[in-house]
Amino acid sequence: MTEPAGDIELRLHWRRGNFTLDVALSLPAQGVSVMFGPSGSGKSSLLRAIAGLEPAARGVLRIGGETWQDARLCLPPHRRRVGVVFQHAALLPHLSVHDNLRYGWRRAGAPAEAMREWIDKLALGPLLARAPATLSGGERQRVALGRALVCRPRWLLLDEPLSALDAERRAEILPYLEAVKREARIPLLYVTHAVEEAARLADQLVLLEAGRVRAAGPALEVLNRADLPLALREDAASVIEASVLGHDGHGLLRLDTPAGMLHAHGPAHPVGTCVRLRVPARDVSIALSAHTDTSVLNIVPAVLQSLSPLPGGQFQLQLLAGGACLLARVSHQSVLRLQLREGLAVWAQIKSVALLV
């Protein structure tokens, strides 16, 4: 069967020692596909196999109808037209930022406008004359990102590019990654074990466990599935898409969401901007009536869909609030006191400071 134009077909098998990678996927050749999972699940091994850096990997790899690997063919890394950004920037220390960018660009034979485009979009102009040793971690990753993009790759692979950065530097570079997502017009494969990055960037999400695919699909569907390990983590959360209605000048946004209008603290995005909210389960409480004498700004009607016991005397609740699924964590005592049961109409109370934009 001929692969539909624009799709990525991936069936790869690779073994090293006691570890086996065995993955079959079909991904859209656009947007961001995030490979998520714990350390040792095979995320980086899969990325390296796609890039052609694991010669022992066997299988099929096609992108947009172009075969990179099958039973008869295995293109070497330099012919796969992928840009790769690793956890550490691996810039050439004896070259300036400008010469680091030019190094890959000249070898790829990319057009001159590619250099100008990504120097501008990644705000690299002030860094061009500097040596890599003088850059911050976030600046080095921006240069590594630019070095990959000026080559006009067919596919951009990012292997935990933020994991070596502190929280401040991660916050600094995430908007640049979002700009690449919007403007690169190529598919991105993003490897991470940070659920916050997956929630913010992913269009498609692939959950890997022990070298195999546990779940794959549209990001919000996978992130909000109550039957997956993501929902059982201590930092379990729901993810909701929202549109900015306005802000009050004190860091508080008004957002239109499937659950209704919500308030959240975050940057003063322009009205109409689409954002995603992470609503941590531990920051959602339940009431049987809508309180007005409370500091909680977000109180929305919901229906209790299911209750699942957790270790430590807690229950996880799955709620349907309008068109949004929410998770909540409450104590066993609260379940008894409120007589919570499936189908019960309740009110979900969410602190505005708990919504992560």
Query: What is the C-alpha separation between 267 and 324, in angstroms, rounded?
Result: 23
- The residue with tokens 């069936």 is 11
Mean pLDDT of 13-21: 92
Q: What is the pLDDT of residues 98-119, one digit of tens each?
A: 999 998 888 777 888 888 999 9
Is the per-residue pLDDT at 225 higher than 60? Answer: yes
Mean pLDDT of 200-211: 95
Is the per-residue pLDDT at 11 higher than 50? Answer: yes
Helices (H) and strands (E) in the chain, counts: 8, 19
Mean pLDDT of 164-183: 89
How confident is the model at residue 4, as a pLDDT? 39
How confident is the model at residue 166, as a pLDDT? 87
Is the per-residue pLDDT at 353 higher than 80? Answer: no
| Continuous H helices in the chain | 43-50, 97-108, 112-121, 137-149, 167-183, 195-201, 219-223, 332-338
Is the per-residue pLDDT at 1 higher than 60? Answer: no
Is the per-residue pLDDT at 21 higher than 70? Answer: yes
Is the per-residue pLDDT at 354 higher than 50? Answer: yes
Global pTM value: 0.88
- The residue with tokens 């690299």 is 124
Is the per-residue pLDDT at 357 higher than 80? Answer: no
Which of 41-45, 93-97, 232-236, 320-324 shows the lowest mean pLDDT across its residues?
A: 232-236
Q: In percent, how much of the chain has pLDDT > 70? A: 98
Closest CA to 14 of 49, 57, 52, 48: 57
Mean pLDDT of 146-153: 92
How confident is the model at residue 85, as a pLDDT? 94
- Total Cβ atoms within 10 A of residue 112: 9
Which residue has better confidence, 357 or 4? Answer: 357
In this chain, the answer to whether the domains covering 7-228 and 237-354 adopt an identical fold is: no
Taking all residues of the chain, what is their mean pLDDT, rounded to a whole number?
91
pLDDT bucket at 328, cuts 50 / 70 / 90: very high
User: CA end-to-end span of the chain, whole Å?
Assistant: 42
Is the per-residue pLDDT at 355 higher than 80? Answer: no
Query: What is the C-alpha separation between 166 and 49, in angstroms, rounded?
Result: 28
Dihedral sign, Cα of residue 232, residue 235, residue 238, residue 241: negative
How confident is the model at residue 302, as a pLDDT? 97
Is the per-residue pLDDT at 6 higher than 70? Answer: no
Taking the domain 237-354, which CATH number applies?
A: 2.40.50.100
Domain chopping of the chain, boundaries: 7-228, 237-354
Q: Which CATH number fits domain 7-228: 3.30.310.50, 3.40.50.2300, 3.60.150.10, 3.40.50.300?
A: 3.40.50.300
Is the per-residue pLDDT at 334 higher than 60? Answer: yes
Q: What is the pLDDT of residues 257-290, one digit of tens each?
A: 999 999 998 888 899 999 999 999 999 999 999 9
Is the per-residue pLDDT at 36 higher than 80? Answer: yes
Say which amino acid occupies 49.
Answer: A
Q: What is the pLDDT of residues 118-133, one digit of tens each?
A: 999 999 999 999 999 9
Which of 47-61, 99-113, 136-150, 315-329 shows the lowest mean pLDDT across its residues?
A: 99-113
